[in-house]
Structure 1
């Protein structure tokens, strides 16, 4: 009986370690948003994550031709990675590369892009027609669907791994019970 309890404790301990290993911090909202066309000058880039991130996390900004833009300071604030801009960004497409260290110690990386399109002359206010609003609403809905499908696939992948681990633990537990019962006979 002592061996049986020890085996169960070992299995539960192994399972708890595996569950903790899947607690990575995934990226959430970014400012500016992925694919956004920014029409006003920016002072910082903000990346929000689902979980806390650790020191050593980095962010880099590149122009459309691969030129690196130096950030004044990169601040790590709990679940945020904030890059302060030294100078206003010129009209161009930009790519943000990030590498973070999750609270569980695992490094994660990714990138997203946005476009700067700041008017150089005073902007004349335009009358928005319902069709323009519909197009913007459809674009926002499309972006949200892409983020939701990405999050769903990440959760499904993590969930399937957990079920595989549970299955393996169940097989080990059943084999342990069979072996222990045969030894008693």
Structure 2
């Protein structure tokens, strides 16, 4: 009777302990085999933004190491848009960008290594939309422009009136200046006529005298 009880206890222990060990192993396995990955990015993949931010930030599932952090951002012209080296702060890796880079499609490439030695690499792209021709004028600017239009029209009217007055004055002076010239020409013509008449008369007297 005693031997039978001992065998039953050992059998029950095996039946209970083995499933518990398997369950614990199954729970621990995903943690051991889980890989470090990119959780989020700013700007995000396929995002369309109005302007290039001062920096791009990649957030990973595990802390990264500064030594092996490599991040590159290429602008639409195929040139690097980075102004410095990547900076690591815990799970985040950031890279400063040149705000004067052109609008268009940007490509982000990264290769980093986590603190426990897991390498992570990948790439994605986002778009910086072209800015409009210029900002819309403010209400104050619009009112100033509207007020400037009547003033400009008034100034133009004054300039036109002044030009007309100057033209009339010049015309009067020209007319007044032409009167002495006409008189002088008439006097010369009359003198020539008198001289010719006197000459002809002398010729006739000379012939009669002969």
How does the TM-score come out when normalised to structure 1?
0.52
Q: Is the contact made by 1:98 and 1:109 (CA closer than 8 Å) also made in structure 2?
A: yes
Q: Is the contact made by 2:75 and 2:105 (CA closer than 8 Å) also made in structure 1?
A: yes
Other-structure match for 1:122: 134
Other-structure match for 1:49: 60
Offset at residue 118 of structure 1 (A): 4.2
Give the unaligned 5+ runs of structure 2: 1-24, 137-210
Q: Which has the higher contact order (CA 8 A, sep 6+)?
A: 1
CA distance in 2, matches of 1:123, 1:35: 26
Offset at residue 31 of structure 1 (A): 0.8
Runs of 4+ that moved beyond 3 A: 14-21, 120-124
Largest Rg, 1 or 2 = 2
- Asked if residue 24 in structure 1 is aligned to residue 35 in structure 2, the reply is yes
Offset at residue 17 of structure 1 (A): 9.7
Q: Is the contact made by 1:42 and 1:88 (CA closer than 8 Å) also made in structure 2?
A: no
Q: Is the contact made by 2:107 and 2:124 (CA closer than 8 Å) also made in structure 1?
A: yes
Give the unaligned 5+ runs of structure 1: 1-13, 125-185
Q: Which structure features the higher share of helix residues? A: 2
- Given candidates 77, 89, 93, the residue that maps to 1:81 is 93
CA distance in 1, matches of 2:62, 2:50: 30
> Closer, same or farther in 2 for the Cα pair 1:96/1:41, shift >3 Å?
closer
Counterpart mapping for 1:1-185 below 5 A: 22-55=33-66, 56-123=68-135
Q: Which structure features the higher share of strand residues? A: 1
Offset at residue 69 of structure 1 (A): 2.9
Q: How many residues align?
A: 115
How does the TM-score come out when normalised to structure 2?
0.46
